[in-house]
A and B are shown apart, each in its own frame.
Chain A
Amino acid sequence: MEHAAAHTGGASIKAYMVVFGTLAVLTVIEVLIPLRFGFPKNVQVILLVFLALWKALLVALYYMHLRYEPQRLKWMVIAPLPLAVILVMAVLTEF
């Protein structure tokens, strides 16, 4: 396990807490967007998707330690994402 620990122990407690704070703040901003700010709908959608992806990325990189994993594991992890996008986008054009 020693070498595995060397891989995953990259993030410090401080980093964990910073990510936690960022996630919390981003969530507050997210909730305020539809409820308080009167942006046009499509601006809202773009902002919200951006924020959600930002949060998701933070969780994957720091909490799931992807940032400290070998490069090839990172490649493997993003492999199915294009498929997901293709499925949703192609079928959306249908309706």
Chain B
Amino acid sequence: MTTQAAALDRGGMDATEVGMGVYNMKLGMWVFLLSEVMFFTSLIGGYIILRGAHPDMFAQPGVVLNVPLTAFNTFLLICSSVTMVLAFAGIERGDQAKLKMWLIATAVIGMAFLGVQVYEYIQLSGHGFVPTVEGYRAEGAPLYGTTFYTMTGFHGFHVLMGVLALWYLVIQAFRGKYTAGSHGAVEITGLYWHFVDLVWIILFTIVYLI
């Protein structure tokens, strides 16, 4: 096998490698996240544009949406971000116990976030705040529900994907797959997880507070 093919098998982590200066998987994750930026631009941007066009169809903050509950949820997501970096910091120092503990914490907090979101959805739709034209009884107009559920729903979907990835990492961690010298998967899952957190920071401000 050629030296480069060997480098390829190690995820391109070769000291002699030319290029961006980060290994392939990490570069690939960043490139993918750039595409995600544009995806969320289409959803959040669509909301900004529609709201700019019809300000009267959207309610003021706190009227329909439960801001304190979501603020708590935001706090949860921030916590999960810090547990994620602690897991990463743990494995960087070769500390398997810390890695496992913080990974599990991150996954559990992520699931708690999803649970709160589902609870919020149930509560809101009970008050007639639904994504569809039919059955919309809340303040504002159906457009409000439409954009709200699409944006938060797709964010929730991303969180769900992240939670699945985290449980996969937990399983791998218990099988001892990660070491101080080799933990690319932890790092790139972390990148994804923080990105999802970052999107929520923007989303929360624009949708709930403005």
- A–B contact (CB under 8 angstroms): yes
| B68 at the binding interface (Cβ < 8 Å) | yes
> Distance (Å) between the CB of A89 and the closest chain B CB?
9
With a CB–CB cut-off of 8 A, which chain B residues contact A88? 41, 45, 48-49
Chain A 59-70 against B: per-residue CB contact (8 Å), 1 yes, 0 no?
A: 110111000011
Separation of A16 and B86 alpha carbons in the complex (Å): 8
A84 to B197, CA, bound (A): 19
Q: Within the complex, which residue of B13, B67, B84 is in contact with A63, where a contact is CB–CB below 8 Å?
A: B84
Closest to B50 in A: A95
Query: Which chain A residues lie closer than 8 Å to B58 at the CB level?
Result: none
A52 smallest CB distance to B (angstroms) = 4
B6 part of interface (Cβ distance < 8 Å): no
Interchain CA distance A92-B41 in the complex, whole Å: 13
Count B interface residues, CB 8 Å: 58
Interface residue B120 (Cβ < 8 Å from any Cβ of A) = no
Verify A4–B184 contact, CB threshold 8 A: yes
Q: Give the tally of cross-chain contacts (CB within 8 A).
A: 149
A16→B210 contact, CB < 8 A: no
User: A56 touches which one: B21, B60, B61, B202 (CB < 8 A)?
Assistant: B202
Which of the 9-residue segments B74-82, B131-139, B158-166 touches chain A?
A: B74-82
On whether the beta carbons of B22 and A84 are closer than 8 Å, the reply is: no
Q: Mark B29-47, 1 if CB is under 8 A from A, else 0.
A: 0110110011001100100
Other-chain residue from A24, A73, A87, A95 in contact with B75 (beta carbon distance below 8 A): A24
Contact call A23/B78, Cβ cutoff below 8 A: yes
* A57–B164 CA distance with the chains assembled, in angstroms: 26
B20, B31, B61, B84: the one contacting A70 at CB < 8 Å is B20
B22 partner, pick from A4, A23, A79, beta carbons under 8 A: A4
Q: How far is the CA of A70 from the CA of B27 in the complex (A)?
A: 11
The yes or no answer to B155 lying at the interface (CB within 8 A) is no
Instruction: Indicate which residue in A2, A16, A55, A92 contacts B82 across the interface (CB closer than 8 Å).
Output: A16
Question: Which B positions have Cβ atoms within 8 angstroms of A?
Answer: 13, 15, 20-23, 26-27, 30-31, 33-34, 37-38, 41-42, 45, 48-49, 52-53, 60-62, 67-68, 71, 74-75, 78-79, 81-82, 84-86, 88-89, 92, 180-184, 187, 190-191, 194-195, 197-198, 201-202, 204-206, 209-210
Instruction: A5-B181, A13-B89, A16-B85 are known; give 20 further A-B pairs, CB within 8 A.
Output: A1-B23, A8-B92, A17-B82, A20-B81, A27-B78, A30-B204, A34-B61, A34-B67, A34-B209, A34-B210, A56-B202, A64-B191, A73-B27, A76-B20, A76-B30, A79-B34, A80-B37, A81-B37, A92-B48, A94-B49
Which A residues form the contact surface with B (CB < 8 A)?
A: 1-5, 7-9, 11, 13, 16-17, 19-20, 23-24, 27-28, 30-31, 33-35, 44-45, 48-49, 51-52, 55-56, 59-60, 62-64, 69-70, 72-73, 76-77, 79-81, 83-84, 87-88, 91-92, 94-95
